[in-house]
Structure 1
Amino acid sequence: MEHPFSSGADSVPTGPINKHAVLTVKPLRRLVPIFPTQPDSNAPPTSNFASIPPTGPFPPGAAPFFPFYASNATPKQGTGTQPGHGRAYPIPSPVPINSFKSPVSAAGNGDIGSSRRSTRSRTDLDEDDYSQSDGYGNMDIGSDGVGEKKSVTRKKTRAGNPNSSYDADIDSMVNSLLRSFNLLEIDTFRQANSDKEFVDVVVVVYNLLRRKITQLDDVTAGVSAQARRPDLRAGTICMTKGARANVKKRIGAVPGVDVGDIFFFRMEMCLVGVHAPSMAGIDYMGVKVSGDEEPLAVSIVSSGGYEDEGDDGEVLIYSGQGGVQRKDKQQMDQQLVRGNLALEKSLHRANEVRVIRGLKDYAHPTGKVYVYDGLYKIHESWIEKAKSGVNIFKYKLVRVAGQPEAFTLWKSIQQWKDGVTTRPGVILPDLTSGSESLPVSLVNEVDGEKGPAYFTYTSSLKYVKAFSSTSSSPFCNCTGGCQPGSICPCVQSNGGYMSYTSLGVLLSHNSLVHECGKSCVCPLSCRNRISQAGLKARLEVFKTKDKGWGLRSWDPIRAGAFICEYAGIVIAENGMDFDDNYIFDATRSFVPLEPFPNDEPAKFPFPLIISAKNEGNVGRFMNHSCSPNVYWQPIVRESQDESSFHVGFFAIKHIPPMQELTYNYGLVSADKAGSRRKECFCGSSRCIGYFY
């Protein structure tokens, strides 16, 4: 089949590139060294250089980093002088053959494997490495703050023993999880050219698996869960089982991945095909040109570990990889190899490059959230001195016009938070009047309506009478908060596991969560009181175009994270007003439309119906969707002989800022004749057209 990049057998067009085409990646069998092994100081530059010189103009003090050869002057040993600049710089060593070959990786097709070099910056590291250095000794920590600053050594845990009961539990869980999502036998075409639904399912499965491994590791003595890196282990399992999307590398946009999509782990980007290396900042592929293969960059990650200049939402000044930090603490100039060479080639081939920006995670100051900022093109390249004194490559990337906002939206939100600018359309800066730990803005940018009908804001659920427990309810004496693996009766009520991470991410699914109650002595910050500690994200109530008032977040929300509970007044089933538009009815049936296993959700021991018409919280503004991004979870708080049941809302998948939060209202039973069907405007491709 003719290569998508070729207009003929041995030519490369300069016209538009088909960014949706899947490129076949073949190993590079033979390459001519990029630099001559022994440059002649008296000879002019020749065509022996496989790389192409960067184009200017160069900023003041910068020097073009090509060609590397000695001048007629007699410099010091190991240095040369660039004509017209008159300063010395090191002559790079000859580049090894296959220096930018993409080796076969155990991680799966298309991934860049480990170089096993000592360079720790923007180089390809094995996916089982247990630290993620950003090139300056800092940790590139994942969503749950997992990671430790230590030498990169492979740890041996029980998970590495195929005969262990631990592995048997994991393997059984994985097979059950994949079976419930129909991922045991995946259509190869859908795997190669994935749609949005399939990409979402892959990420959801990965996160459910990662969270379950985290929960199992939490109670295991000996090795901490942080050292075991459940994010990498879950990713390796998904790769091995074939639970991944867009398995072939490609230039340009990736099917099923939208501009503005977010990731909390590098492995998520690997699994959906947006950026293959689990740690390297530059991803590239071999493309056949004039009979030979050359590398072209397909994506880059700019996460703050280098001297990048990325504050401009339309322009990114990106630093090359390598040469910044070595194990022997020596500094060295970057070389025009591997990812750097791929970026240089992409400059001259004018292909689009995907840009992912790693930003600070609001929920975990040492963690990052990765934002897909869309397609860029490389316009210039040059060399300049880094702060450490070594020469580094610089590439100017300009965002392709006409794409949705991504990084620029994040900048605007941060300015709202910092008070630098005012959020347009604000009616009230905090409709909760201080009832919540974080303010909730009321915003209307659609029409002149000044707000919803009057109601009293309450942050908790109110019972006329508490539910009596048939047995003596446990309570704990954990003055410092409940801990995993302890004999705490509240933890034991959850099967001996913690239900949440410290960041408020739910580790279990479809089971009743037992939280500490009023009789427990643990503080409000206890990991077993997540739903009681208030909002975790900065929310806003906003006017939609056709659905009344809705709810969304200024902050990114990770899969499984607690959002809010449904507050209001618990009412009797026979006292329900069918004209009440602010009803939560747990007795409804829920068609499994959302990307969750097709099992029955946990049930309340009695018909729980909540009215938020007169009293309620932000949960009352969450609209229905046939393809929701939020689900509800039953929670019980026990206190002596009484129990109170609550409804908590959690994220099904990662939710970018300013995306509406929705859940499935469910279907009423046939005997409730008073319920009126309402037209659904969710806009989902799976919309059934109505809800109750």
Structure 2
Amino acid sequence: MLRYGSLTRADADPSGVRQKNRVYVEYTRHAEREEEELGAGRRAAAPRAVARKSTAQSAAPSPPPPPTDRLISPISPMEGDGQIAEIANKPRVTPRRLQPHACGRACIRNYSDVDMDQLKGNNPLLMPMMSGWIREIVRHRTSKRTVLYRAPCGRRLRSLDEVFHFLSITGCRLEIDCFCFDFWVHCFTEFEPARKFCSIKDISYGKENVPVSCVNSLNRDYPDYVEYSTRRLPTDGVHLNLDADFLTCCDCTDDCQDKERCSCWQQTIQGTEFGPTGQLDPSAGYHFRRLVNGNVITGIYECNARCKCRRTCLNRVCQHPLRLRLQVFKTLRRGWGIRCLDDIPKGGFICVYAGQLLTESLANEDGKNYGDEYLAELDYIEVLERLKEGYESDVVDDDESGDEKRDEEKSDDETSPGGDDEDAAGTSSSETGRRRAGASRDADFVPRHGGGRGGGDTDLRRSNRARQTKTAGSEPQHETKKTSAAGAAKPPVESKRPAGTPSAGRLSLPDDDYKSVREQFGADEYCYIMDAKNIGNLGRYLNHSCSPNVFVQNVFVDTHDLRFPWVAFFALSYVRAGTELTWDYNYEVGSVPGKVMYCHCGSQECRGRLL
């Protein structure tokens, strides 16, 4: 950028090189770049009234904040002091010799009355062994180890597919997520804390399907009383539509094994086209009720009350009550946390985050007055739309495109010797301009693959208004049919890509002016906030970690309203018994002016600060 001006007496240098009223040229490219970087830094940390956790996983992990001189505090060894031992009443089943037969209901006749409701309170992976099954770990000559399940009839099953088929044809009441073929997952062990200064048998007061114990191994303090609720409770100003007539459903009778036929599965799969890659992922969703492939950023649609499938459906996970044995315990610097008493396989469902649904204004008011440590915003829409931010930077301005077009036409006129060549050159220039305009329109929908939280809702609305103003100010252009040098009209070029299929890395969006999905519900629509400070479930005790072992997933169960997804937690990797369960809060450092919060997760990748 060049800046022109004239020197005054105050600007004159002592050497006398610059003289009064003499024209000078100043290069300000470096200063302009610094201003842009400063503006980008301000947009990255949009100011907020209170701190709120993000319940939607970003497409890529946010960059770490600048290094800090503060030392990372290690976790106290007394927090997780305990031992992992075998359970006291280990079930012992006598192996039965396999007789050639066709499996049916007779295979489980001695255990036909065993129900999972009767076995609740035990390790879910232990329930098959309490129902006549045997879990065997086979060691091969190559030191490889595999897991086999021996059914009550003596038949050996080697995979989850075989187990699910056996459960279907025999009518066994066990469910598929009670089986695990990872040899490193232990089913006969449990964690027992070394000391208990004070304890509570069930912190949910009987409202959970499984008792949630609470222990304090550091002192004799008890956790604050919280009204326990397993469901989200809307407050004033929150209109949560739970009418079943507004849900799409499936008519599957095979427990939704065929993803191509199940309409609920297809909602999850088709939604992956609008993800960061822009490609369809046919494997998206649960794999035998476990999210082994990680977070599905576009959300998961489970089967609902209108579907004809049974409770053993493979697409029903978060709607089931709690089955894992979890324990709330006191930490040294992070308040109360939660840990598992049994091993959890990778992708296993843990629990949901429940509490009061608040409007943004009410959440800001309550956060300032009573604290914001339990506020989590339902930003599913914003995280997806943030993938499309930055598309305006690729659009060529009307003035610039007009100047370039005139320069090209002038260059063609100078180089064209004859009339025919001049006509052909003019046609080529017009086609080039039209292709450039088309490329500019396509560039609008290129998603940004960078992670982070972006500039927030304010920047997104400002970007939309700027785009609408720019579009309204431009004049419509009417295309005319161009002919080639021979005078014949060129046939349209057919696309080899099927209709309705977006190209890789692009989002399939309408050609009209972009409008946020949030604005479709009303002019004053903002993110709704889940508050679990006074009313909530055990999800409120999940602490933050910069190296979490739990990830958050948005799931649609009782409503398909994009504003109100369920917030569910799944195991990011194999979790050993006695390990604390943590997830990444995705706080923005500097987003709340005047508030600083340090991180005490004790991880080697600790970022030092949360706010």
**Bigger share in strand:** 1
TM-score (normalizing by structure 2): 0.42
TM-score (structure 1 length as normaliser): 0.38
Which of the two has greater helix per residue?
A: 2
Relative contact order, CA 8 A, sep 6+: which one is greater? 2
- State the structure with more CA Rg: 2
